Amino acid sequence: EELASLEELREGEGLVSLASEYPNLAEMLALKLRFKHFNIYPLWGAAEIYPPENADLILLATGDGRVFENSFLKPVKKVLDSGACLIANRESLESKDLSRILDSLYGSLDKIPPERLVEIATAVDSGLKPPQFMPMDCVRLALPDGHAQKHVVNILDKAKIGISDYPSANGDRRPRIEIPGVKVKVIRPQDMPLQVANGKFDVAITGQDWVREHLAQFPASPLVELVDLRYSRVRIVAAVHNEVAADNMSGLRRLAVEKGWNLRIASEYIRIADKFARENQLGMYKIVPTWGATEAFLPDDADILIENTETGGTLKRHNLKIIETLFESTACLVANRTSLISPKGIVIRDLAAILQNAVSL
């Protein structure tokens, strides 16, 4: 059964959910298509798994279109063609002679193939077996992708909960779990707090760091932490370059006042970094959002790094030193408060109790 067409979505009175790593482009698209009521859900990736239960449409980069092979997605509108491009700071262009580096780079850019950004709707391909979609009356569980999967499997084994095709050898993001009434999707841990808070999932396993990042933006969020799963323990720290003459926040604050610095704080944790700066009374500051490899920003493009670290080894290799630990983070089971007081709450609380017993062994 196919989802509604673009025309039906445009003319309908229902709420259209559009998920994407490109939330600003998605919002522009929804306005251009004149959707009457719509929500934009920003993602860190894996957009292709969200339809049909968690999004009506997704906007994603498809490259050569292989995302549609052996999938239940179909493109319904091309938004733009996109390829690699060379960008520059306008002030640098005006004040510096960049001709040598620009001339050397222009030729190589022509060899990079473009990728396409396409708006996607879900469709069941008649030649394939339909996936096990998540009905609204089931408990919708989000499990993490990436390196956290082995820890989740270990905990489920301890809890004697069977799960198949997780991790998946063929990239399937719908594993099957041996709990009646529970359906699973595999998404990014960074996306889980917002998706659970919005009711797209009832329960999820994510990191306490991402829970705090979410709550720093939405203090009244219906997100509830149920179980500390005690794995993936990291510290969220503030770090500076070794050449900075400060070993703690008091020293850095004093140095910033003396030199009149407007501190630049680089982090994937934008709201945590902003809260940290305000609580430490850093005066004038600027948050530099990053999407990874944040340690490379210091000292040229940022003065402080807010990052997670397990041993501190990566920071040391980049000549950085920790001046404060903000908090420790482990994986946790979170749930939507509304789901907890619904008929699903019995299953969710039973799952929480089983996992709590497993991690206590």
Contact (Cβ atoms closer than 8 angstroms) between residue 202 and residue 335: yes
Where are the extended beta strands (E) located within the chain?
A: 16-20, 38-42, 57-61, 73-82, 115-122, 139-144, 163-164, 176-177, 182-187, 203-207, 223-228, 234-241, 263-267, 285-289, 304-309, 320-329, 331-336
Alpha helix stretches (DSSP H) within 89-186: 90-95, 99-109, 149-158
What's the pLDDT score for residue 323?
95
What's the pLDDT score for residue 1?
36
* The token pair that represents 215 in the structure block: 């709550």
pTM (2 d.p.): 0.85
What's the pLDDT score for residue 110?
58
How many angstroms separate the CA atoms of 145 and 137, rounded? 24
What's the pLDDT score for residue 130?
46
Burial of 133 (0-12, 13-18, 19+ CB in 10 A): middle
Q: Which of 168, 206, 171, 169 is nearest to 188 (CA)?
A: 206
**∠51-56-61 over CA atoms, to 5°?**
70
Q: List the beta bridge partners of residue 109.
A: none
What's the pLDDT score for residue 108?
60
Largest CA distance in the chain: 69
What's the pLDDT score for residue 128?
42
Token pair 């991402």 is found at: 210
Q: Which of 174, 211, 215, 225 is nearest to 333 (CA)?
A: 225
3-state secondary structure of 309: strand
Q: Which of 120, 117, 115 is nearest to 75 (CA)?
A: 120
- List average pLDDT for each run of 10 residues in the chain, which is 361 residues long: 62 85 91 89 90 87 70 78 81 85 69 60 44 77 93 94 92 91 94 95 97 96 96 94 92 86 93 94 91 87 93 91 96 97 95 95 80
CB within 8 A of 163, min separation 6: which ones?
153, 156, 175, 176, 177, 178, 184
Q: List the beta bridge partners of residue 304.
A: 265
